[in-house]
Amino acid sequence: MNANSTIADDYEPTDTPGGLAALTRINFHSLDPEDILAVATEGAAALCPCRVEASYCTVDDEMKLCPSSQTERPRLTDMLQRSSWEGRIELPRGDWGWAFPLCHRDAVQGCLVIGASAEPTPDHHLLLQLLAQNAGAALACAKLHQREVVRASQLAETNEVLAAAVHRLKTRTHTHELLEAALTAGEGLQGIADALHRLTGRPVCIEDRFGNLRAWAGPGRPLQYPKPKYGRRDTFLRSLSTQAGPVRSGDRLCVLIKPRAEMLGVVALVVRDDEVDEDMLFALGYCSNVLGLELSHQRNLADLQLNLRRELVDDLLVGTDEQGAYARAEALAHDLRRPHYVVVIYSARGRGADIAAAGRAAASLNMNYLAGRQGRLVVLLVDSHPAPDALHLEVSRQLGDSACAIGIGSRCDRPADFPQSLLKARRALNVRMNSAHPWGLSDYCELGFYHLVDAAHTAGVVDEYVRQWLGVLMDYDAAKNSDLVNTLSHYVECGGNYDESAAALHIHRSTLRYRLGRIGDLTHLDLRDVDTRFNLHAATRAWRFLTAGT
């Protein structure tokens, strides 16, 4: 029996008043059901000559032996259930038995089964009933206490969960605020990487989709950043796209930057697995979302600026309002008031030179530029006269060592000069592409003889000259869709050499011989005559020069 539950040791059962006095000394201080039933068991023996056959308490609305060390008596339990745990019970050997329900406020908390060799007196029976009521109240109090203990434990657990949720919410709110502040402040990729480094305390790297380093925050930046092979990188990106969370790659925890369907890059933390926590994973994932917004914004802004620049170039080349052109160029951070030159570029790739490659070439030569396209030609408007050899070499290098031809127009001091400079740049390109060395650069200002042609064309004289010497061939080509003027031009450019002329025209010698014979029949001119060949050479060059298309 619990030390807090006591029964007077000197009690001897007598009359009812004495029994009531003894009953008042039976104290149920313990909140343990086993202790309470032990006190009730001893108290029953102290109140009258009887014994406790079995004791029960309710657990989840079901009667269970308490303490559980009692021997199971299925027959007794069955009788108790039939009698609703109250009333007379038949015991072995014919002893008197009675089930006293342990109740409190009409709720049954347990049961004491009392047995005796003779039926107790009514006074003793009353004392046992009072003992059962006190025990029932004690059990109810114990259950209430247990319920409060459970509730207190649940409340403590709930408070812990709530405290953890509040901490997590504060941490994630701080993550949102810090990363979004870096985004809205316009600090770019480096600002966002710095913010993630402050949040996690770990080095951060941001790569584009090709594996190039775009930003690094924190210690340990490699002196030479390794770049993976294309095939391996593509496989890595695909593996990232199939995962819902970060993926371990060496010493890094990587997340794909993919705001929509397109993969824009990778953000990674340099961190060990045993250092990773939930807050760190959340910050890394949210950072990838912020970077998706930033990279998409950068791409949209670049596309917008590129379109605006191309529209400005297109308008300048056909002629536009001067003040409007200055204002639009200023909005694009380009000084149009400086002297400019029109540069046209043709690539041997067959689909026109790449605008980005031409722009990189101009930038590497420290030239400010606007870029556009006309047909298969890339057009650059540069603010300084390019060094011919350096420009051709750099453009070829940026195009992947692809052969290219370049023409440079005249100086433009105001927007109205650009259309004429474009025409001269195209004429310079045309001269270059129809020369013996087509892959190179020609500057209109250095064309010499062609300036006379241009001046004569302006005065309306050169057209008559060209018609005089080539008119019959030009008409024949137009009517028959033939190529006699072009054949004659290559023939005289090659100095009358059959092999070189046929190679330049990509035709057989016999085809060249037939065409030259047809030219002689139509013009009635002797191509062996020096003066005739001189005039035909000049006429074909003028024709080439004035035909600006390529």
Q: What is the CATH number of the domain that holds 101?
A: 3.30.450.40
What is the total residue count of the chain?
550
Distance, in Å, from the CA atom of 266 to the CA atom of 285, rounded to the nearest integer, reads: 11
- Name the 3-class secondary structure at 440: coil
pLDDT recorded at residue 134:
92
User: In terms of C-beta density within 10 A (0-12 exposed, 13-18 middle, 19 or more buried), how is residue 107 classed?
Assistant: middle
Segments forming the whole domain that contains residue 225: 186-299
Single out the residue of 176, 356, 206 nearest to residue 292, CA to CA: 206
Based on the fold, state whether residues 439 and 512 are members of the same structural domain: no
Instruction: Give a yes or no: residue 200 inside a domain.
Output: yes
Instruction: Give a yes or no: residue 237 inside a domain.
Output: yes
pLDDT recorded at residue 14:
44
pLDDT recorded at residue 462:
63
Distance, in Å, from the CA atom of 325 to the CA atom of 312, rounded to the nearest integer, reads: 7
Instruction: Give a yes or no: residue 79 inside a domain.
Output: yes
Structure tokens at 462: 């050169």
pLDDT recorded at residue 230:
72
pLDDT tens series, the chain, 550 aa: 443 444 444 444 445 666 777 787 788 888 899 999 999 999 898 888 999 999 999 998 899 999 988 988 899 999 999 999 999 988 878 889 999 999 988 899 999 999 999 999 999 999 999 999 999 999 999 999 999 999 999 999 999 999 988 988 998 999 999 999 999 988 899 999 999 999 999 999 999 988 899 999 999 998 888 888 777 888 888 888 888 889 898 899 999 998 877 888 999 999 998 898 999 999 999 999 999 899 888 888 877 877 888 899 999 999 989 998 998 889 888 999 999 999 999 887 655 557 888 888 888 899 999 998 888 899 999 998 888 788 888 888 888 767 888 999 999 999 999 999 998 898 888 777 766 678 888 888 776 555 555 554 444 556 777 787 888 888 888 888 888 888 888 888 888 888 888 888 888 888 888 888 888 888 888 878 777 777 788 777 777 766 654 4
Based on the fold, state whether residues 203 and 278 are members of the same structural domain: yes
Based on the fold, state whether residues 295 and 377 are members of the same structural domain: no
Based on the fold, state whether residues 95 and 120 are members of the same structural domain: yes
Instruction: Give a yes or no: residue 4 inside a domain.
Output: no
Give the Å distances, CA to CA, from 275 to 385, 498, 521, 537.
58, 79, 91, 80
Indicate the number of domains in the chain.
Answer: 4
Distance, in Å, from the CA atom of 333 to the CA atom of 188, rounded to the nearest integer, reads: 19
pLDDT recorded at residue 422:
92
Determine the Cα angle at 233 with ends 231 and 239, to 5°.
105
Q: Which residue among 446, 472, 507 closes a domain?
A: 446
How does DSSP classify residue 31? Answer: -
Based on the fold, state whether residues 33 and 142 are members of the same structural domain: yes
End-to-end CA distance of the chain: 113
Based on the fold, state whether residues 196 and 76 are members of the same structural domain: no
pLDDT recorded at residue 401:
65
Residues whose CB is less than 8 angstroms from the CB of residue 265 and which lie 6 or more positions away in sequence, other chains included: 206, 207, 208, 209, 214, 257, 291, 295
Per-residue b/e over 222-247, b at no fewer than 16 CB within 10 Å?
eeeeeeeeeeebeebbeebeeeeebb
Contact at 8 Å (CB) between 493 and 437?
no
Instruction: Give a yes or no: residue 227 inside a domain.
Output: yes
